[in-house]
Chain A
Amino acid sequence: MLEVKSLSVRCGALDIVKGVSFAVNDGEWLMIAGPNGAGKSTIINAVTGGVAYTGQILLNGQDIRKKKPVELAKNIGVLTQNHYVGYSFSVEEVVRLGRYAYSPGVLARRCDDDERMVELALEKTGMAAQRRQSVLTLSGGELQRTFLAQVFAQDPKYLLLDEPTNHLDLIYQRQVFALIKEWLAQGNRAVISVVHDLSLAKKYGTRALLLDHGCMAAIGDTNTALNRDTLEKVYGMDVYAYMKEMLSRWQ
């Protein structure tokens, strides 16, 4: 279980996240939703050690600050929205980095496990044919699938996603979410993802956490947490009416 207890993040004089608590159990897909600036991504950054925070983040009851980076990486994997790789690494090299936590030593030799996981990840994400291609020549969707393959190769228990399909076309968006759903279905794992697309949250999430200016506005089953009232309060508009109006254009 991954537990976040009264998490707060300050940046200068600004409180970005204020006393957020939640827990994720195996098999769950928690969607963190809310308007821009609500502190969604900051929560992910706190869990990954990217920002300083107060409060506690517990992995199976143990404070993650006391865990070694390598141990943490075996349990928590992250996929972010932007990837800018400066050098022309091949797809396979980037994916292989996902195995770092399993053989961080100086004289690390490749083991069969690593090979198998890298192959599997490349195949699952459909990047096997492009394994030797430079990541600089990939399209946005292919690059995101490369990093998805990396995190699959890392084989964590908890997958954190920070708007992973933010600038991707619908085809890739569906592809990436379908792959993650399939990954989750293998059991003994959980997903936490930050999304601003509420339709995606409702389609894929099992639970949702709605944030409003860094505070928890609602948490629970996706449809309970993201209901008409809570959304209207947080977004200051009738989200339901707007979404239905959008949908009517397709009829």
Chain B
Amino acid sequence: MNGTQEGFRAYEYILFAAAAILTAVICVCLGSVNVPLKSTAEIFRRAILGLDMPKELPASIILTVRLPRVLCVALTGASLSLCGAAMQGLLKNPLADGSTLGVSSGASLGAVIAIAFGISFPSLPFAGTMVMAILFAFISLLIILGLAYRLDFSLSTNTIILIGVIYSMFVSSAMSVIITFASNKLKQITFWTMGSLNGSTYANALALAAAFAIFGGILFIKARELNAFAVGEDNARNIGVDVKRTKLTVLICVSALIGVCVSIGGTIAFVGLVTPHAARFIAGPNHKRLLSASAFAGAIFLMLCDLAARTLLSPLELPIGVVTSLIGAVAFIIIFYRARGKSRGA
């Protein structure tokens, strides 16, 4: 008579974690220079034990270039995907995510303003763009939700996405205006709009990990409330969920997490939209499982996209945002048609 367990089982965690680690290893080994697995393992062994590196091993590529980058990519993917899953549950809309809602373009506007006008905080060298990105992500979210609420009280229709798209267009024209004033920083600004994790450092990875631990952690805690929202906001209120507080908490966490991601990797579209969909096929709609599955799936998906971005046109490198959009759009169509073919379930 016992009910089914709602959360992830231990073996499922191990399975997903193993897949993520395997992907990470592949991504660290492959690139402009392919390093055999054996050499990579040797480099790690020596680095951990603090031994000297033999000259013939490409230690600096692995340790100072690829490892921090793969870590950043994995954490960004996990964060964006987690945000997407949370937003899709909260708004009961499978088309919602940071980029469709305009939150990430808002965040990049913040970053662009910080770059163009040289806004920074003296004690923290990187914090200028990061704080501005987070701030703008949150302001964007408030504007979009505020407008949507006025138009359509229920928030569950496409109104919110429509306003998000309009807002994104508005933001991109605002960015064009700023670019005309700060044309000397054009290259740096383009980076934000395309998205790339080239040149990521361990400090970046640490910032992402901290953001994921704090804000992602809160989202995981809110899994039950997200389930209630995914069934319906009125239903959530009727069963005793503090609707306003939950909504605000989730939205703040999502904007903060997206803000941090954008400040480090720029706008990376489609990850937050597609991977929760795929995760829902594997884990079902219950957020106690879905959030974990989405985070792992997002990390794996983005690592593979980054690998493609680095290697497909080597020595040229594609912006990761371009790869995610290309793969994401196709994957989305396939998922969508399959779902339609099988049942109404998604």
Question: Which residues from chain A sit less than 8 Å from chain B, CB to CB?
Answer: 48-50, 68-74, 77-78, 80, 83-90, 92-94, 96-98, 100-101, 104, 106, 108, 110, 115, 118-119, 132, 134, 136-137, 147, 150-151, 154
B345 and A134 within 8 A (CB): yes
Do B4 and A92 have beta carbons less than 8 Å apart? yes
B231 touches A94 (CB 8 A): yes
CA distance A149 to B228 in the complex (A): 15
Which residue of B93, B156, B230 is within 8 Å of A89 (Cβ)? B230
Complex: chain A residue closest to B89, CB-CB: A87
Total interface residues on B, CB under 8 Å, equals 34
Q: B243 contacts which of A69, A83, A87, A118 (Cβ < 8 Å)?
A: A69
Closest Cβ of chain B to A74, distance in Å, is: 7
The answer to whether B240 touches A72 (Cβ under 8 A) is yes
* Option from B4, B6, B94, B284 in Cβ contact (under 8 Å) with A86: B94
Report the minimal beta-carbon distance from A133 to chain B, rounded to whole angstroms. 11
Contact B240 A92, beta carbon cutoff 8 Å: no
Give the nearest-CB partner of A150 in chain B. B239
How far is B242's CA from A73's CA once the two chains are assembled, in angstroms?
10
Contact between chains at A87 and B280 (CB < 8 Å): yes
**Does B329 belong to the interface (CB within 8 Å)?**
no
Whether the Cβ atoms of B240 and A115 lie closer than 8 Å is no
Give per-residue flags for B213-235: 1 if the beta carbon is below 8 A from chain A beta carbons, else 0. 00000000100100110111011
Q: Cβ of B237 < 8 Å from any Cβ of A?
A: yes
- Of residues B89, B221, B232, which shows the largest number of chain A Cβ atoms within 10 Å of its Cβ? B232
Q: B240 near A88 (CB under 8 angstroms)?
A: no
What is the CB-to-nearest-CB distance from A164 to chain B, in angstroms, rounded to a whole number? 13
Query: Could you tell me the distance between the alpha carbons of A143 and B37 in the complex, rounded to whole angstroms?
Result: 54
Is the pair B3, A104 in contact by a Cβ cutoff of 8 Å?
no
What are 22 A-B residue pairs whose CB atoms fall within 8 Å in the complex?
A48-B237, A50-B234, A50-B237, A68-B242, A85-B232, A87-B92, A88-B285, A89-B286, A90-B284, A92-B3, A94-B231, A96-B3, A97-B235, A97-B239, A100-B228, A104-B241, A110-B3, A134-B345, A136-B343, A136-B345, A137-B344, A154-B239
* CB pair B234 A108 closer than 8 Å: no
**Min CB gap A87→B, angstroms:** 4
